[in-house]
Amino acid sequence: MAAITPHVETEFARAEARPKFKPVEMTALDYTPEIEAETAHLYERVKDVVPSIEWPFFAPTIKAINDLKETRNAVILAHNYMTPEIFHCVADIVGDSLQLAKEAAKTDADVIVQCGVHFMAETAKLINPEKTVLIPDSRAGCSLADSITPEDVRGLREKYPGVPIVTYINTSAAVKAECDITCTSSNAVKVVESFGVDRVLLIPDEYLAQYVATQTDVEVLSWKGHCEVHERFTGPELRAYREADPATRIIAHPECPPEVIAEADYTGSTANMIDWVKTNKPEKVVLVTECSMADNVAAETPEVEFVRPCNLCPHMKRITLQNILDALVYMREEVDVEPTVAAKARRAVERMINLQS
Ligand code: 13P
Ligand code: SF4
């Protein structure tokens, strides 16, 4: 087969390398018969969701990333919303926000490459202050994290004196530093109940707080933040899927509006949603969440038909194979948290992790 050379250098890759680390010399990323053979087992994992015509463009970069992980003693943590070639072919650990935070705490690698959004990389850094944490594109933000500032949290403390403040992990370290504990969508009820009080603030996701309030006797106050991906789903849209085929199961993330959750057969974190599909193996399912997750689960459950409303998270989609490779070649973009902020934010994250175990 003729050699295919994909675009090798992004704009980032051409920028100055950080002096602390030497960039690695890279050879051309050609799709040779050797690369084809060495990556065949990886293509096998994604063959149902990645067309064979695209593989020659992915395979050389995948091979280079997997080789460089060893050179750098790096681990790649990937959120469930990463595209299949990242999720199934270069990630060492995949999961929801809670799983990624817990696994970040366990790793003995020197370098963590966070394939997810910025608050996830910050969380990994809080847990591992001595390690190098890289995010392939630091512009990968989150509408929930952007919806609240540390000043807003201080305002809430004044308005609700003595009421514990739980922050969803989808916030900046500076916001976490003002809060008592973090939570994720998979442990929010447990965290809210852990204080043993009647009233708790759960910020900044209004819909998650409303969902948690339906699962506990604790009064849950919130903030007005929303996820720009999940707030787009509507009740009529989901009813239409069910009317088209009454056997369709609807599985929703708790960042969805209440009218959407009301239509769901099951609600849970991204990891809980995946477990539900793998355990129940419905004939047909709609995953009411970010679009790439259905591809990742479909690759492992070919017997399930996925109805795919495609709401993409533009922030998660900033992470690509190419910038993961650049991250490892040039050791960028490094994530750091100011030490006084980090000390307080770490306490909030560690309280949550300790509550789990
Ligand atoms: P999970 O913790 O359920 O993976 O959610 C993270 C997220 O950003 C969902 O939009
Ligand atoms: Fe943030 Fe929503 Fe994207 Fe998750 S899907 S990272 S909550 S914007």
pLDDT in tens, 252-266: 999 999 999 999 999
Same-fold call for 8-20+30-140+317-339 versus 149-225 = yes
**pLDDT higher than 90, residue 290:** yes
Q: What is the percent of the chain where pLDDT is above 70?
A: 94
**Residue 132 CB less than 6 A away from ligand 1:** no
**Residue 96 CB less than 6 A away from ligand 1:** yes
Mutate to test the pocket of ligand 2, among 96, 147, 288, 316 (most ligand atoms within 8 A of CB): 316
CA of 283 to the centre of ligand 1 (A): 25
What does residue 39 show for φ and ψ, rounded to 5 degrees?
-105, 5
pLDDT, tens digit, 9 for 90 and up, residues 43-61: 999 999 999 999 999 999 9
Q: How far is CA 94 from the centre of its chain?
A: 9
Nearest ligand to the CA atom of 227:
2
Nearest ligand to the CA atom of 144:
2
Chosen CATH of 8-20+30-140+317-339 out of 3.40.50.620, 3.40.50.10800, 3.40.50.150, 3.90.1150.10? 3.40.50.10800
Is 263:239 a contact under the CB 8 Å cutoff? yes
CA of 95 to the centre of ligand 1 (A): 9
For residue 310, the model assigns a pLDDT of: 85
pLDDT, tens digit, 9 for 90 and up, residues 271-288: 999 999 999 999 999 999
Kindly give the number of the ligand 1 atom that is closest to the alpha carbon of 227: 10
- Domain 230-312 annotated CATH 3.40.50.10800: yes
| Tally of CB atoms within 10 A around 314 | 12
CA of 247 to the centre of ligand 1 (A): 26
Lowest mean pLDDT among 19-28, 141-150, 240-249, 270-279: 19-28
Query: What does the mean pLDDT of the chain come to?
Result: 92
**Residue 123 CB less than 6 A away from ligand 1:** no
Going by pLDDT thresholds of 50, 70 and 90, the confidence category of residue 20 is low
Nearest ligand to the CA atom of 118:
2
Kindly give the number of the ligand 1 atom that is closest to the alpha carbon of 98: 2
Going by pLDDT thresholds of 50, 70 and 90, the confidence category of residue 102 is confident
pTM for the whole thing?
A: 0.91
Domain boundaries, the chain: 8-20+30-140+317-339, 149-225, 230-312
**Residue 293 CB less than 6 A away from ligand 2:** no
For residue 2, the model assigns a pLDDT of: 38
Residue nearest to atom 6 of ligand 2 (CA): 142
H-only helix segments in 107-229: 118-127, 150-159, 173-176, 188-193, 206-213
Going by pLDDT thresholds of 50, 70 and 90, the confidence category of residue 105 is confident
**Residue 144 CB less than 6 A away from ligand 2:** yes
Chosen CATH of 149-225 out of 3.30.70.380, 3.50.30.10, 3.40.50.300, 3.40.50.10800? 3.40.50.10800
CA of 312 to the centre of ligand 2 (A): 9
**pLDDT higher than 50, residue 140:** yes
Residue nearest to atom 3 of ligand 2 (CA): 313
CA of 313 to the centre of ligand 2 (A): 6
CA of 141 to the centre of ligand 1 (A): 13
Is 168:182 a contact under the CB 8 Å cutoff? yes
Going by pLDDT thresholds of 50, 70 and 90, the confidence category of residue 27 is confident
**Residue 97 CB less than 6 A away from ligand 1:** yes
Mutate to test the pocket of ligand 2, among 100, 147, 205, 290 (most ligand atoms within 8 A of CB): 290
What does residue 50 show for φ and ψ, rounded to 5 degrees?
-115, 115
Full DSSP string of 38-104: HTHHHHHHHTTTS-TTTHHHHHHHHHHHHHHHHHHTEEEEEETTS-HHHHTTT-SEEE-HHHHHHHH
